[in-house]
Amino acid sequence: MFNTIVVYAIYLALLLVCGFWLGLYMAKVYNNESTMVDKLFNPVARLFYKLSGVDPSVEMTWWDYTKALLWFNVLGFAAELVLLLAQQLLPLNPAGIPNMNFWTAFNTAVSFMTNTNWQSYGGETSASYLSQMLALTVQNFLSAATGLAVAVALIRGLLRRTTKYIGNFWSDMTRSVLWILLPLSIIVALLFVSQGVIQNFSSYQQVTTLEGAQQTIAMGPVASQEAIKLIGTNGGGFFNTNSAHPFENPTPFSNYLSIFSIMLIPAAVVFAFGKMAKDMGQGKSIIIAMTILFVIGLAVVCYSETAGNPLLAKLNIAQPTAMEGKEVRFGIADTALFATATTDVSCGAVNSMHDSYMPLGGMMLILNMMFGEVVFGGVGAGFYGMILFVLLTVFIIGLMVGRTPEYLGKKIEVPEMKLAMVGILVPGIGILFSSALAVALPAGLAGIGNPGPHGLSEVLYAFSSTVGNNGSAFAGLNAALPFYNILTAICMLFGRFAIIIPVLAIAGNMAQKKHTPANSGTFHTDGVLFAVLLAGSVLIVGALTFVPALALGPILEQLLLTIG
């Protein structure tokens, strides 16, 4: 256990240090300050602007910013859908993979456009090399950049005074891809190749196993997709078994690098906020709250999987750890860290099958997503989701002390609170309503692989993953059925844009407000006390919303398991 704690402590320390320095760099990028890569990327950006007729210096209102974002995502969705429906007719398809059926292609296009990367198909059997690169990998970059653009627009809205402008969407997208996502992805891809992750265009290999049977070994450009799937908190695997596959995640170092890559930018965005606000304390209080929630979840998952099945313990088995569904080469500690990180950070990458976790551990993974993916959260999305809880916490504190709530010197009034509550309630509405439909309708029941509370856990996980734009799967649920393809696609769209639109509206409202100087009655939001209150707000909202549903699923399953 001591070694596990040391590994976790080193991971967190490395993450926060690297996140801090990357955050300083990101603040320069979005403030249009000089960086070391400007000479390389400025000509490329100018070419894009010229070809598209965009003037990056023209600022947008929140509504113009929103319209540009929505149209961009709609066009990206359409292009991806066409590619998936026509891949059999296109080049770079050495395995002769047929076109996707419409509903699977529709679900996949929605999934990658919303940064969810929920996969109701097997990558190596359902997507050609061209589809993997041009449809899926490109969308990995663009969906991650969309989240970053929304986050930086919100930061500007919080910091600017008496203006209706929050930036230029096209400039924010371009700088997010070229200055941040692309360089990091190149570095991570090269590190993955050094560990044995494949990157080729070879035909699938036919080999003879030790037993004499014939087996097909899938090939492909894996490292390039693997890098952005993690850096961009996307999660869609090249292979069906995702990061449990030795061609995606071959070594303990590649595993550690994967977990680090998942959480790097989400942590860095918070530090970038502190730098742009010229008050690092504001960013540190949010990062402390996120870390508190992360450590609580990690402790629960690690304890649950290490303790294993209590029935085996009663049989005096020396080490009843829950290794089912996990890679022996990674073990309990690294697997628990990966599972906690990927469900906290809206990244669907997995190196184990969550369906095999003990009920308590599986419940924590579900709850991580139910919180609204704000515990570090997705690229950009985690930050702006947490800001909604910041506004809620400030509002509650204001009620307690009898003052108009303020944040960063601006009054939080009725319009902002209404918008914030819309964003906070989205996960609960989407998850609970969809889960109710799935267990009430025959079409939903047909996809559930296990009876009783575990079957409900499968359903809750699926809709927590899709509404939260996470994309990981519990397994055991047949998500390829038309019912789930359609309903999960609706959930992904709802979970993405029903939060983005209120967030951008809040940015527009806050940008127009005047700044009020702090005084003796101002509650400071840059300390540990505020961080604890913020973490408490997330826990309370999550508990009040979801504990009744969890009580019928993983909690009941744990109790039944305990009594045998």
- Classified as helix, coil or strand, 199 is strand
Q: pLDDT value at position 320? A: 60
What number of CA atoms fall less than 13 Å from residue 44's CA on the CB side? Answer: 11
Q: pLDDT value at position 188? A: 97
Contact (Cβ atoms closer than 8 angstroms) between residue 234 and residue 115: yes
> Locate tokens 């022996």: which residue?
328
User: How many beta carbons lie within 10 A of that of residue 274, not counting itself?
Assistant: 23
* Cα of 539 vs its chain's centroid, Å: 19
Low-confidence ranges of the chain (pLDDT < 70): 313, 316-320
pTM score, whole prediction: 0.95
- Classified as helix, coil or strand, 518 is coil
> Locate tokens 């039944």: which residue?
560
Q: Which of 564, 354, 359, 547 is nearest to 453 (CA)?
A: 359
For β-strands 410-411 and 406-407, DSSP reports them as: antiparallel
- Burial label for 75, CB within 10 Å (0-12, 13-18, 19+), is exposed
Q: Which of 89, 59, 69 is nearest to 157 (CA)?
A: 59
Q: CA-to-CA distance for 21 and 150, rounded, in angstroms?
A: 21
Structure tokens at 262: 């998942």
For residue range 482-513, what is the model confidence (pLDDT) as tens digits? 999 999 999 999 999 999 999 999 999 999 99
Contact (Cβ atoms closer than 8 angstroms) between residue 301 and residue 315: no
**Amino acid at site 281:** G
For β-strands 214-217 and 205-208, DSSP reports them as: antiparallel
- Burial label for 404, CB within 10 Å (0-12, 13-18, 19+), is exposed
Contact (Cβ atoms closer than 8 angstroms) between residue 372 and residue 427: yes
- Classified as helix, coil or strand, 214 is strand
Q: pLDDT value at position 154? A: 97
Q: pLDDT value at position 523? A: 84
Structure tokens at 71: 């149209």
